Amino acid sequence: MATEISKEQQKGLLAQVRHYWHIILQWKWTTAFFFFIAVSAATIYSLMVPPVFTSSGSLWIENEANILPFEGIQSFGAGTNLQSQARLLQSRTLASDTIDKLKLYESPDFAGKPKKGEKPIDPADPIVRELLIRNFLSNMSVSSVGVTRLVDVKFSNRNPKLASEILNALFDGYIDMIVRKRYSSSEKASEFLNTQIAELRTEIESKERELNQYGSDKGILPLTASEAPTVSRIGETNRRVTDATFDRVNKLNAYNQLKAAPLGEIPSAPEGSLIQRLREQYINLSRDYVTRLATVRPEFPAMQRLKS
């Protein structure tokens, strides 16, 4: 009985296939016409729409060193700083600085070509500035690499050269922002220490006045002529100790800046110095290595020499 049902089902299925095949043969020219229209539309659309190129790069996010001891009292975990730096790469301030640095509002590949009869784009206009920043952030993506401290940054544009220039300018702006932030933290730490020293000095002077007033009220005799030079030398010694303390604080501040600075960066390095030239040479070689890495494998001898 099961075999008879199976044969009946097979006959019904074969009849349906024949029915559909007759329909296709009956409407074959109509089907071929619509298929041709769909393929032609897809081909024309792919030819009319310009391709989009994506430039990618990676950043190594370092842990920020504490300048003052009490800055490490509250901790939020190792991944907090990585997430904060990733969000900083997508900040509106960094995007605005990159737009102004490269004058992207004048680039047709980024801001688009103005229509005939329209005025040139005014970057000072708040509405235009908002549209430029939104366009910049919509073409950029930031993602972390697994459990490492690497962050992948990508930027897409119809012009591959412009996409690469924007990504490099974004990295440079991010590094400058971090350097300014560290310098600002060092200056604030120095101001805090100087304020504390000034308050201590004021308190010491107040206590000295109270001591003198107490001596006058109790009838304590003033210093004799033989005691005055000794007290004067003590005062001079205290002044030198205070000056030495100031000098020690300033040198400690400079040491902390050097210790917190990343490899290859020395705060307050003079322009045109050897460190400045080596830093520029390192940045140029790094960009050259990343650019060649897109087409040449890292094991290639030329890439090994460039990396070394």
CATH code of 105's domain:
3.30.1890
For the four alpha carbons of 284, 290, 293 and 299, in that order, the dihedral sign comes to: positive
The pLDDT, as a whole number, for residue 42 is 73
Question: What is the rounded CA–CA span in Å between residue 134 and residue 132?
Answer: 5
- CB distance 231 to 211 below 8 Å: no
pLDDT (0 to 100) of residue 235: 79
Instruction: Note whether residue 255 is domain-resident.
Output: no
Closest CA to 133 of 169, 157, 85, 97: 97
Q: Quick one: 131 and 87 in the same domain?
A: yes
Please report whether residue 82 resides in a domain. Answer: yes
The alpha carbons of the chain give a radius of gyration, in whole angstroms, of 36
150-157 sheet: strands from edge to edge: 53-60, 150-157, 140-144
- 93 is a domain residue: yes
Residues 6+ apart with CB under 8 A from 219: none
Same domain as 133, residue 147: yes
Q: Specify the pTM.
A: 0.47
Confidence (pLDDT) at 66: 46
Q: Are residues 132 and 162 in the same domain?
A: yes
Same domain, 154 and 92: yes
Q: Does residue 132 share a domain with residue 42?
A: no
> Do both 171 and 72 map to the same domain?
yes
For residue 13, the enclosing domain spans: 2-48
Q: Same structural domain for residues 13 and 68?
A: no
239: in domain: no
Dist. CA 207–CA 64, nearest whole Å: 41
Domain co-membership, 76 together with 142: yes
Question: In the prediction, which pLDDT does 225 show?
Answer: 59
> How high is the mean pLDDT in each 10-residue block of the chain (308 residues)?
60 79 78 78 68 84 54 46 80 89 86 73 83 90 81 89 90 86 75 84 85 74 62 82 87 77 58 69 80 74 77
Question: What's the distance, CA 228 to chain centroid?
Answer: 62
Residue 150 belongs to some domain of the structure? yes
The verdict on residue 252 lying in a domain is no
Domain co-membership, 11 together with 59: no
Q: Does some domain include residue 271?
A: no
| Pairwise CA distance, residues 262 & 179, whole Å | 9
Nearest residue to 108 via CA among 54, 162, 156? 162
Give the type of residue at 155. F
Q: In terms of domains, do 15 and 129 share one?
A: no
pLDDT value, residue 230: 72
Domain count, the chain: 2
Same domain for 77 and 114? yes
Return d(Cα 11, Cα 4) in angstroms, integer: 11
**Same domain flag for 159 and 105:** yes
Residue 81 included in any domain: yes
**CA-wise closest residue to 64 among 222, 159, 181, 174:** 181
